Structure 1
Amino acid sequence: MRAAARSFGARWPDRVAASDPGLLRLAAGLRTVGAIALTLAVLSLLGADVSHLVAGAIASMVATFAVREKERGRQAVTLALGLPVALASVSLAALLTSRTVAGDFFFIALIFCAVYGRRFGDRGTALGLIGFQVYFMALFVGIGTSSLPGYLGVVAVAFACSATVRFLLVRQTPSGILERLRQAFRARLAQLLDAQLDLLDAGPDDAEKALDQVREGTARLHETAMMIQGRLAEGTPDETVARLVQRRIADAEIAAERLGLLLLTARSAERADTLTLHLPGAPLPEATRLPVRDEALDTLRHDLRALRLLVRHPAEAGSGTVLSQVRNRLLGYRDEENLPQAPPPVQDVFRGVGEAARAVLGLRTALDGPQDESADSPETARSREELDAEDAAIGGAEEDEAPSDEVTGLRRPTTRAAVQVAVGSSLAILGGELLSAHRWYWAVLTCWIVFINTSSTGEILVKGYRRLLGTVLGVVAGIVLAGLVGRHTWTAFAVVLLCVFAMFYTAPLSYTLMSFFVTAALGVLYTLLHTYSLSVLVLRVEETALGAACGIVAAALVLPVRTDRRTNELLATVLERLSGVTEAAVEQLSGAPPVDLLEQARDLDQALADLRAATQPLTHPVTPLRSRRDTARYVVALLETCAYHARSLAATAELLPTHPSIAADPRLRRAGARIVHNIGAIDARVTDERSTAQVLAGPSVAALLKPGVPGTPRYGRVTDRVLRHLQRLDEAVVGLARPLGTPVTAPK
């Protein structure tokens, strides 16, 4: 039991780090709750009444969550600019409270400006959010001109408390966030290795479940890699260090995904398709009769556990320690003579373990600094030399930015969204006042919220549905909580703080849960303001449904962006970047001058993430169009497969100047040209249905690399791995043609 307790004590930090990468959700919840609690404490010492306490809590929450910039200096400037915006907003709300028509027109104008401000980046978004939410707070509390001076002081106190918590009590620095994201990457990598080990040992009844866990672990590892990519510029001292960390993270991610594919192949009668790791519900390849108690398989299980141990212990091992011996043994699998006797697919897994151990070694060196080399074996020393040569080849030159081709006028997304939300809010005001002359603003709030971070009618529909569901469930919880806390002021505020923490902690995971906790907290706040009743909470549901409906109507009728159009635009972007990465990688593998391939690969990953988010309305479980849902999932899975192989080609191409076993081969241009042509043909079909471009299907990539002179090597010095990635990429691109309606022909 003591051993189990020690094991749990050693692993729980990894579990926390993996569940909340960078502790970003925990910090957001603590920062917001801390700001509210400090505001309530200061106002209570000043003798504020309950209405002022509620206003202060809302204002401090807004001042905290609205500021999203990564650099602390920019956060301070935005917060300082937000205070006069908040003061002006609450003042105008108080002055216009008795002028209904003028107040409604100003509210609509404020909503338009708040949404339009998103085109100016994080600061414009934050100031617009502060202006709108503080105006809403004034309506919620009922601020008039006679009580305005006191509420201005409350807002000032709230912003001061928010700044105190942000910069003193719950501090987050870019370098600290990046360090915690690195820990999360290690933790999720170790979890993926656990899932891969379970897949190796899974019986026929558990194989599908084990494969699902490997898929989930692979996706979570990729998500963390993308989060690290987004923090490198602010969290590292210079461009060279950022590129070094980027390369090592990419190497580890690719090695882990490749190891999963090799394990699948070792279980199956034929080479596993990369699509299996990306398509939910894809069947496990047919299993072979591998012996359960085979010496090679027992060694493989032991080595996978050893690799997991290396990942979980980032500190330097030291001379002669067990970790040094484990590292040396695993890196030895990079040499053919050290491979155990086993079937070829199982030997491939041992090679994958060796490459993964090399990636972990590079990751440890990049993240933890120089390691003790006194216990290195010859294989480990060679791996270090390769890594040092790669590190030395990394330059700090920045890529020239592409010229901007941003659209203007009503075609600009922020302008279009501002017009849509203004129209939707106008409808919400009219309908909301018919339901209630005093609480019509709930409909406007819902209409506003469903437009945040959405780009198509389908996304708005899904978000409105989730908010309505969360609100209905939250009303039930609000009734229960209001009955429990009664008129106990500080107990009620404690419940509100718990709901606020849960709201921010669950927001990135589930919009429905976030809406649930918001509505539950509001039920308690109504109790504090002595306005609680069952009819009020029912009215909240009615106003929410009305606001969601108004938002959907505005999105569908005013400058609409259909989900098909949005996904086609993003699909074209993904295909364009896939073509760019593939062409650049093949050119470099063919002997062209080096370029920054990993940056291009990450741009491809980001475009694919945007497409995946935009297809949520199509893949939602309640969608009635089942065949369309399956097609969308299949296309996204194929694109993820293409992105994996393109990313692997890019990482391999960047090794050309330093890796002795990889050399340029001009014959690759012919294979790459066909792949790039096919991607372009699909892109043309997606962009214009009248396009006559066709996908060319032909001989395998290996067949295209015929020797030019009799007696010369078939593949030259290009590794088999490069050929496999090209072949799989070629197959995946041709596979995209059918669901996207592009004709496929064989070359004449």
Structure 2
Amino acid sequence: MYGGVKAAGRSARTRLRDRVAASDPGLLRLTAGLRTVGAIALTLGVLAVFGVDVKHLVAGAMAAMVATFAIREKEPGPQAVTLALGLPVALASVSLSTLLSSRVVVGDAFFVVLIFCAVFVRRFGDRGTALGLIGFQVYFVSLFVGGKVSGLPGLWAAVAVAFASSAVVRFGVVPATPVRILSLLRQAFRARLAQLIATQLDLLDAGPDDIDRTLERLRDGTARLHETALMIQSRLDEGTPDASTARLVQRRIADAEIAAERLGLLLLTARSAERADTLTLHLPGAPAPAVGHSPAPGEATELLRRDLTALRTLVLRPPAEARGTALSHLRNRLLGYRDEENLPEATAAVQDVFRGVGETARAVMGLRIALDGPQDESDDSPATARSREELDAEDAAIDAGEEAAEEEEQTGLRRPTTRAAVQVAVGSSLAIVGGEFLSSQRWYWAVLTCWIVFINTASTGEILVKGYRRLLGTVLGVVAGIVLAGLVGNHTWTAFGLVLVLIFAMFYTAPLSYTLMSFFVTAMLGLLYTLLHTYSMSVLLLRVEETALGAACGIVAAALVLPIRTDRRTNELLGTVLERLTDVTEGAVDQLSGGPEADLLDTARELDQALGDLRAATQPLTHPITPLRARRDTAQYVVALLETCAYHARSLAATAELLPTHPSIAADPRLRGAVRRTVRNIEAIAAHVADENAGTRVETGPSIASLLEPDAAGVPRYGRITGRVLRHLERLDEAVVGLARPLGVSVGAPRR
């Protein structure tokens, strides 16, 4: 009985851990929140021991926050160097801010120069970005607390304690090495993969009234899995011992993601009266295909339900518990579906689902071997042994690959950091002038908002959306600040305790919602004003006015000074996506046609990154409040079509990667000719995006499958693997043609 209770407790802890891992991949948000709160708490504790006043407590707390969140490097060594360099920068900044505070014109002019330099040094990477951020933010801290020359030694001490506390918490209390973060990200990938399979299981049983809602969950689960895969790929270089291991993990993550996405599409097809379009998995709000019937009557349905549950169990089982004949039996049964003779009696669509289950089980086994090392092989069935041999052969073929060629760097005002520095300097100058008219004491809030809306934005539209979100969060935060200030009263340490809670919430929600983060920041400021005995309704309302002014100044500067229009930005990124799509498609098909091996994994990763950049850049066009509804729908449709293209291109690349090590997969030279039209169409669309007067057109014609003529009478046209490749090529070709209409490219039959 005791053993059963203990096992149940362990199971509950495992489920909770998986939920947390899935909601916060790598625990990155939790780590950021704990580090910041820990650094502030330690700073306050040390300063309180020496009996410093509230003003210096606030300065120390804000400096500790800056010293913690400014550091961007992933390795502990570079982090320590940046933190050490940041201290003299912070001391110089707080000194200049205090000395110049009484000289209005000189102080304002220097502040603008500081802002320009802080943005300009982003060109030097994470360290330059961090030092610029520290310089600006600590200058602002002195303005906020009203630092005086006579109080400089106290401010220096508070800043020094803050940086020391940040170092202690970062490297001693809440350490996070790249290896540990990568391990947590892999755990998150497993948890999200299991959640996606659970949603696929729900799709199997969903009725006509529930299928649209279940399909939306399937879309979200697929997108979340892809997000985690990209996060893992971004940390492989630092988190793995060598390049070969990094490529192996990258390969297995990609295999598992593609297999899971394909399984969802096959299930959707089995539930539908017709073959499901891949676009359905990527277009938000797209209706589910008409439900024709239950996926399979009787025994086949029960088998499918049982096997999807077993697949989820394989994914979730921790390495320490992944032994024993029961789990081996599940794995052997699922991998058996890769052999035609083991498929149950069912319709062709349902048999495809069982094949998809087998391929996903193989991907899960490959992922487990890559992440956890060699597995027990004593209970392997012949099908499992063959799958393991295939994986071993693939592992042996993986090498470090070639170094990517460096892209040509822009210079002068065309360089993004230089352009942003000029824009934010102009916007800040406007904010200083306007802010002084609103308040000679609180004008710096307008400057801070102007500065912030330029962080991680690249076009006028992105700055507009960010400014709107900050203003909305500020208005809501003012209401919360009024309530909290009234509750706290003059209780100093109660206020500091609530400040810590709000700061944790701010950092934990920052990657999820900029509006929420702004809400928590403003609510926290209400408490800080209470601590400084400067709180009043008029101060909080002034905060809203200064925020609105700063956002407006940022938008005006972005629109009038070296502007990057949203259309221009999205067109540039769209051209990059189409270029990467051509590279992946041509490279994969060339290898599948018998050409030399190529580094398709890195090429596919570049496609995913380019598509992610485009998705972020279209946010101003797809925002719910945009008045241009037709334009919003077009942008969503184009991005969804590109995601569909990327899925099929990744699938082609994954199949091509198997070619050198799988005797069952043979190259087919005819594929090279079959894909030419698709590549020409992608290039035609790219040319039109670059120049609307290019006069290009997209060609239609017979299906790609019909282009593969048999070599001789009586010879089968193509085998099952080639058939799968053709299905991906067909869907890719259809999606590319579908891109032509919303992008304004003419479509017609090929010219004779």
Interval containing the TM-score (normalised by the shorter chain)? over 0.9
User: Quick check: 2:740–2:747 contact (8 Å CA) kept in 1?
Assistant: yes
CA–CA separation in structure 1 for the residues paired with 2:644 and 2:48: 58
CA-to-aligned-CA distance 1:149-171 (integer Å, 9 cap, x gap): 11111111110110110000000
The residue matched to 1:657 in structure 2 has which SS? helix
Asked whether 1:563 is paired with 2:569, we answer no
CA–CA separation in structure 1 for the residues paired with 2:84 and 2:701: 63
Equivalent position amino acid for 1:35 in 2: A
CA-to-aligned-CA distance 1:71-112 (integer Å, 9 cap, x gap): 111101111111111011011111101110000000000000
1:395 corresponds to which residue?
Answer: 399
> Which of these residues, 369, 372, 376, is aligned with residue 373 of structure 2?
369
CA–CA separation in structure 2 for the residues paired with 1:291 and 1:641: 24
Asked whether 1:284 is paired with 2:300, we answer no
Give TM-score, length-normalised by structure 1.
Answer: 0.98
User: Quick check: 1:267–1:287 contact (8 Å CA) kept in 2?
Assistant: yes
> Which of these residues, 428, 435, 440, is aligned with residue 437 of structure 1?
440
Measured after TM superposition, the shift of residue 320 of structure 1 is 4.7
> Which of these residues, 361, 364, 367, is aligned with residue 360 of structure 1?
364
> Which of these residues, 598, 603, 606, is aligned with residue 606 of structure 2?
603
Measured after TM superposition, the shift of residue 710 of structure 1 is 3.3
User: Quick check: 2:229–2:254 contact (8 Å CA) kept in 1?
Assistant: yes
CA–CA separation in structure 2 for the residues paired with 1:694 and 1:614: 26
Asked whether 1:345 is paired with 2:380, we answer no
> Which of these residues, 164, 167, 170, is aligned with residue 166 of structure 1?
170
Asked whether 1:152 is paired with 2:156, we answer yes
> Which of these residues, 693, 699, 706, is aligned with residue 702 of structure 2?
699
Equivalent position amino acid for 1:428 in 2: A
User: Quick check: 2:278–2:644 contact (8 Å CA) kept in 1?
Assistant: yes
CA–CA separation in structure 1 for the residues paired with 2:403 and 2:57: 52
CA–CA separation in structure 2 for the residues paired with 1:320 and 1:88: 63
Distance 1:125 1:291, change over 3 A: closer
Asked whether 1:71 is paired with 2:57, we answer no
Distance 1:320 1:484, change over 3 A: closer
> Which of these residues, 492, 495, 498, is aligned with residue 495 of structure 1?
498
CA–CA separation in structure 1 for the residues paired with 2:523 and 2:582: 49
Equivalent position amino acid for 1:660 in 2: P
Query: Within 5 A, what are the aligned runs for 1:537-552?
Result: 537-552=540-555
Measured after TM superposition, the shift of residue 311 of structure 1 is 0.3
Query: Within 5 A, what are the aligned runs for 1:257-272?
Result: 257-272=261-276
CA–CA separation in structure 1 for the residues paired with 2:408 and 2:370: 37
> Which of these residues, 726, 730, 738, is aligned with residue 727 of structure 1?
730
CA–CA separation in structure 2 for the residues paired with 1:202 and 1:717: 30
> Which of these residues, 124, 142, 148, is aligned with residue 138 of structure 1?
142
Measured after TM superposition, the shift of residue 405 of structure 1 is 1.9
Query: Within 5 A, what are the aligned runs for 1:31-110?
Result: 31-110=35-114
The residue matched to 1:334 in structure 2 has which SS? coil
User: Quick check: 1:665–1:716 contact (8 Å CA) kept in 2?
Assistant: no
User: Quick check: 1:661–1:717 contact (8 Å CA) kept in 2?
Assistant: no
Alpha carbon RMSD of aligned pairs, Å?
1.4
Distance 1:542 1:291, change over 3 A: closer
> Which of these residues, 647, 650, 657, is aligned with residue 647 of structure 1?
650
1:383 corresponds to which residue?
Answer: 387
Measured after TM superposition, the shift of residue 523 of structure 1 is 0.3
Count of aligned pairs: 747
Measured after TM superposition, the shift of residue 714 of structure 1 is 1.1
Identity between Structure 1 and Structure 2 (%): 77
CA–CA separation in structure 1 for the residues paired with 2:14 and 2:583: 44
Distance 1:304 1:75, change over 3 A: same
With 701-710 and 422-431 compared, the bigger mean Cα shift is at 701-710
CA–CA separation in structure 2 for the residues paired with 1:400 and 1:529: 55
1:613 corresponds to which residue?
Answer: 616
Asked whether 1:25 is paired with 2:52, we answer no
2:193 corresponds to which residue?
Answer: 189
CA–CA separation in structure 2 for the residues paired with 1:593 and 1:59: 56
CA–CA separation in structure 1 for the residues paired with 2:494 and 2:321: 51
CA–CA separation in structure 1 for the residues paired with 2:590 and 2:629: 41
CA-to-aligned-CA distance 1:285-311 (integer Å, 9 cap, x gap): 111123786110011001000000000
CA–CA separation in structure 2 for the residues paired with 1:538 and 1:718: 66
1:522 corresponds to which residue?
Answer: 525
2:311 corresponds to which residue?
Answer: 307
Unaligned stretches of 5+ in structure 2?
A: none
The residue matched to 2:742 in structure 1 has which SS? coil
> Which of these residues, 532, 535, 538, is aligned with residue 532 of structure 1?
535
1:589 corresponds to which residue?
Answer: 592
CA-to-aligned-CA distance 1:495-538 (integer Å, 9 cap, x gap): 00000000000000000000000000000000000101111001
1:633 corresponds to which residue?
Answer: 636
The residue matched to 2:319 in structure 1 has which SS? coil
Measured after TM superposition, the shift of residue 125 of structure 1 is 0.6
Measured after TM superposition, the shift of residue 715 of structure 1 is 1.9
Measured after TM superposition, the shift of residue 709 of structure 1 is 3.4
User: Quick check: 2:502–2:521 contact (8 Å CA) kept in 1?
Assistant: yes
CA–CA separation in structure 2 for the residues paired with 1:211 and 1:565: 34
The residue matched to 2:627 in structure 1 has which SS? coil
The residue matched to 2:669 in structure 1 has which SS? coil
4+ runs deviating over 6 angstroms: 1-6
Measured after TM superposition, the shift of residue 119 of structure 1 is 1.1
Measured after TM superposition, the shift of residue 54 of structure 1 is 0.2
Measured after TM superposition, the shift of residue 146 of structure 1 is 1.2
Equivalent position amino acid for 2:288 in 1: L
Asked whether 1:460 is paired with 2:451, we answer no
CA–CA separation in structure 2 for the residues paired with 1:122 and 1:400: 21
CA–CA separation in structure 2 for the residues paired with 1:580 and 1:625: 34
CA-to-aligned-CA distance 1:588-609 (integer Å, 9 cap, x gap): 1111111110110011000000
